[in-house]
Structure 1
Amino acid sequence: MTLVAVAVLVIVLSGEGRAPEDRAPERLVAALKLGGSPQDVAFSLDDKTLAVAVGETAELWDIGGRQRIEQPFTGHGGGTFGGRVDAVAFSPDGDTFATASQDGTVRLWSVRTNAQVGQPLVNRPDIHPNDDWRRSVEFDRGGTRLLSAGLRGTAVWDVASRARVTWVDGGPWDAGFNAAGDRIATGDTASLATMWQVPGGGQIGKAFAGHSKAPNFSDNVFAVAFNRDGTLLATAGGDGTVRLWDVASQTQSGEPIAVRGPEDVAFTADGRLLATAGDEGARLWRVSDHQPVLGPLDSSEHYGAEKLALSHDGRVLAVAQSGGFHVFLWDVSAV
């Protein structure tokens, strides 16, 4: 049965009027069994292929056929912190995808040839890459620039020339482009997120301060994401909250959303909903009033959710199982 057929079946059975948690189990479309624990996931622009970070490799999966495509992409490894691939991202044209690793490098790969393209990208020439764990990677919407946040700050490269165009001393955990690609947000320590100009790297306004460090909690902001038009920024903090911010005024929008152990956030393309990943699995929330509409989406093993990605057509949510060996695909089209 194809993905579309399964999705249609799920929609028919969804049943309006029930609580979010009651509707969750029947929305499971597929479970992709991996050879290791997934660290990140990303959809290609046509939503036919899923990239998955697994161990020191990255895998491409044909979503419709539930099959891995070719062999894993290998090359990372040997860093001070290891060589695990922590992040993957597709270029907008789908010809290239990027990987970011604990070995301190970001690498580009050809989807067509299954081979690495050029030399690895290194954040700072004055620091050995083995000491510069890379934790995130993202292309801007035009595909001309690539960013990666990590242990020694966040770098932005020009994809064609491979020249570093921006570096900021922020974002040890995550970073993301806004819609125009002329600014980035970073998830920092001290319960802060910061916005920066691209190119140039100048800080824009004050840091987004609202997360807190409570006893037995981290003071890190683990994930950041702009909505599609760049008017809102979502942040996931170690204080167990996800917060939305009005970008223009740099003030918090609405009350915090309580998420146990939040790891990742992503807006739907239309901006109506926000997906969160955490200890209880993935959930969907209405942006307008911060109320839950679906979830928790979790496996029977209850490992929780490490990372997530929404398909570009808004129909499928991919969730990387935290500490497990699966990526789960959930139908979210009728929410």
Structure 2
Amino acid sequence: MSGTPLSLIVEVKARHEEAQDIVTLELADPHGRPLPAFSAGAHIDVQVKPGVVRQYSLCNHPEERDRYLIGVLRDPTSRGGSVAMHEEIREGDLVQISAPKNHFALKPAGRTLLLAGGIGITPLLCMAERLAHLEADFALHYCTRSAERTAFRKRIAASGFAERVHFHFDDGAPEQKLDLKALLATPAPDTRVYVCGPTGFIDAVLSTAKASGWPGERLHTEYFAGAVADTSDDDSFEVRIASSGASFTVPADKTVHQVLTENGIEVMVSCEQGVCGTCLTRVLEGEPDHRDLYLDDDEHAANDQFTPCCSRARSKVLVLDL
């Protein structure tokens, strides 16, 4: 992944099986030095192996400086990241990572609703730790397939906020399953909603909330994977580099990032799915065809930036601020 700023070397100090198909890795400086500070909702880039970089949310208490804790789901549709993390990374290994980045930060609110689907618990658990520390009003709803696939149950049970956590299992009794319509029926004043998990789970939460009148600025999301785009109607278009005037054709079967790389123009990328925002690039002219899950609706409508790892163009030419 060209350009990904993997500036830190950490050691895998511990590895635990948290639940079925979920492991946690505890990362620390090999020499015991403090790690860069992070805030609730932050993530790091991890070089799983050469050429494979993935993003993982930090799920330990945000005031800790001696370690980073990440949770990894073994994804059967993995493109090489999660399977390698499960099968190849062991205690004592040295791993390259980035400094923490946060595109999913907590904002002040009178009350906070945290909605986690599966491994989406990782950033929300860190948020729960922070909110509990601040003695803030919040509730965490944690949805999984089954109790066996529910990570961090012991940690939550031992926490000071256990009574604020509600578990919902797909294979459980009907009455314990999450009723989104009831939970989000009334847009409560001064309440913010944070949701993380599979795309389908996030979409269900957002559509239910919006149907009930929740304003978009109080709904906060973080996706772990990009949506599968329909590429059947993709066509070629031109990208022009503002600084040099150079113009390149982007064919239907290549991304903007791939074409730029082939022509010696480096743009930082990481997830390559329009999730992390690493490759965000300013657009000076033209209309992007947005396919990311990073920018919100208003940012898409502005058409002044896009993600060249996955987004394309509606206009014949895009002029990029490169």
When the two structures are superposed, what TM-score results if normalisation uses the length of structure 1?
0.28
More strand by share: 1
More helix by share: 2
Say which one has the larger Rg: 2
